[in-house]
């Protein structure tokens, strides 16, 4: 059994990632959305925009870090497959058949703001790898569609989708569009994207930051009020970490230290309430807690662990004692708990470390590679090697 974060990182980049990528690619285009408990794809299922767009980002991000030209070729094919989801300039339907054809189901034609954010994230990163006027046009069209077709002009909040059904806004699309804008600035150095990021951050914190607890709420009613009862007090710990990481990223990119205090409040909330203090998964991130600190979901999805690793890596870079040790221990826990003795990885564990959700979800690789690359930037484990694929 591998014991340390350095060795786990080498194993991931040395063999795991290439093997997973070979298995998840589909000869009909794009990638399968998931592998089953035996590591086999469901060839009867369609493909979601979320998985395809996140995979475009993942491939492009790793290609930039490694310089591996074989990854560039695969990313190019992935970008091409994304065209099957376009329903109008800038808007992308949420699902297609395995070969990219339309499903014929009305619910699959919906353009969700959450998914569109990853189209921008994927395209701006791909355009850094392989610049083209065509891709720049796609990016601009998607941004325009988000701001016109998928934004409420009165509040500035993103609509959940273009279905016309009135529903309460969610914080998640705002957070990921904020992320996409920060990434666009990194890729282009165009200050316009920092302005867009700041605007999104202001709207997001205005409506979703709970000042009384120092935490981000998940959903609002259609009247922009907190949900009633326990639902309104529920907080996903991974999102506290993710918002904090993004705030500190913007603070660094924009040289704006005023953003640090909000990040520190979110970090304090997560540290106080969000991590298991004992048991087999000590140090892991709970799925959800209440604003009072009660653990309301004592289960452990994979993605919140990666968000904790990212913010701990940032805290380590800033010189915080023990943050790096915590990140390294959590990375080891992730690989030993969610990966070991499985063909690839599972999605969720219970309090005893038993799998509750066996699927290997393709969309989670976006979380994993960001956690690993943030840790390597902080010097906690090795950089991505120059050669990923044989």
What is the average pLDDT across 104-121? 98
Q: Could you tell me if 106 and 73 are in contact, meaning their C-beta atoms sit under 8 angstroms apart?
A: no
**CA 225, CA 243: separation in Å to the nearest integer?**
20
Tell whether the model's pLDDT for residue 135 goes beyond 70.
yes
pTM, two decimal places: 0.98
Instruction: Identify the pLDDT of residue 261.
Output: 98
**CA 358, CA 128: separation in Å to the nearest integer?**
35
Confidence of residue 390 (pLDDT cuts 50, 70, 90): confident
Share above pLDDT 90 across residues of the chain, in percent, rounded to a whole number: 98
Q: Could you tell me if 240 and 266 are in contact, meaning their C-beta atoms sit under 8 angstroms apart?
A: yes
Q: What is the pLDDT of residues 321-356, one digit of tens each?
A: 999 999 999 999 999 999 999 999 999 999 999 999
- Encoded tokens for 157: 């909040």
Instruction: Identify the pLDDT of residue 2.
Output: 72
Pick from 118, 287, 245, 124: which is nearest to 193 by CA?
124
**CA 139, CA 141: separation in Å to the nearest integer?**
5
Tell whether the model's pLDDT for residue 1 goes beyond 80.
no
Q: Which residues contact 255 (CB under 8 A, 6 or more apart)?
A: none
Confidence of residue 220 (pLDDT cuts 50, 70, 90): very high
What is the average pLDDT across 283-287? 98
Q: What is the pLDDT of residues 159-216, one digit of tens each?
A: 999 999 989 999 999 999 999 999 999 999 999 999 999 999 999 999 999 999 999 9
Q: What is the pLDDT of residues 152-162, one digit of tens each?
A: 999 999 999 99
Share above pLDDT 70 across residues of the chain, in percent, rounded to a whole number: 100
Tell whether the model's pLDDT for residue 85 goes beyond 70.
yes
What pairing do the DSSP bridges indicate for beta strands 95-96 and 34-35?
unpaired
């Amino acid at each position: 059994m591998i014991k340390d974060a350095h060795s786990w990182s080498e194993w991931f980049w040395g063999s795991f990632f290439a093997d997973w990528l070979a298995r998840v690619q589909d000869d009909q285009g794009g990638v399968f959305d998931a592998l089953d408990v035996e590591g086999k794809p469901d060839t009867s299922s369609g493909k979601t925009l979320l998985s395809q767009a996140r995979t475009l980002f993942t491939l492009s991000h790793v290609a930039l870090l490694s310089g591996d030209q074989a990854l560039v070729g695969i990313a190019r094919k992935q970008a091409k497959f994304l065209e099957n989801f376009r329903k109008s300039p800038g808007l992308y339907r949420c699902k297609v058949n395995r070969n990219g054809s339309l499903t014929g189901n009305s619910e699959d034609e919906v353009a969700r703001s959450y998914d569109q954010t990853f189209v921008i994230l994927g395209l701006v990163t791909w355009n850094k790898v392989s610049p083209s006027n065509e891709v720049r046009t796609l990016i601009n069209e998607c941004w325009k569609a988000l701001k016109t077709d998928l934004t409420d002009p009165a509040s500035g909040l993103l609509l959940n989708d273009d279905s016309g059904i009135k529903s309460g806004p969610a914080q998640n699309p705002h957070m990921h569009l904020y992320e996409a804008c920060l990434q666009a600035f990194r890729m282009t150095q165009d200050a316009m994207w920092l302005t867009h990021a700041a605007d999104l951050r202001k709207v997001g914190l205005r409506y979703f930051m709970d000042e009384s607890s120092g935490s981000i709420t998940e959903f609002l009613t259609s009247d922009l009020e907190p949900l009633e009862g326990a639902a309104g007090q529920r907080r996903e710990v991974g999102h506290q970490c993710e918002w904090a990481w993004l705030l500190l990223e913007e603070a660094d990119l924009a040289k704006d230290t005023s953003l640090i205090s909000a990040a520190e409040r979110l970090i304090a909330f997560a540290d106080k309430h969000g991590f298991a203090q004992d048991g087999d998964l000590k140090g892991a991130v709970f799925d959800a807690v209440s604003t009072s600190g009660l653990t309301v979901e004592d289960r452990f999805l994979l993605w919140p662990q990666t968000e904790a690793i990212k913010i701990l890596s940032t805290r380590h870079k800033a010189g915080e004692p023990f943050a790096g040790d915590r990140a390294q221990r959590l990375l080891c826990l992730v690989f030993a708990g969610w990966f070991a003795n499985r063909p690839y990885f599972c999605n969720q564990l219970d309090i005893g470390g038993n799998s509750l959700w066996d699927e290997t979800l393709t969309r989670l690789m976006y979380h994993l590679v960001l956690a690993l690359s943030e840790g390597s930037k902080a010097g906690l484990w090795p950089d991505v090697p120059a050669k990923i694929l044989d």
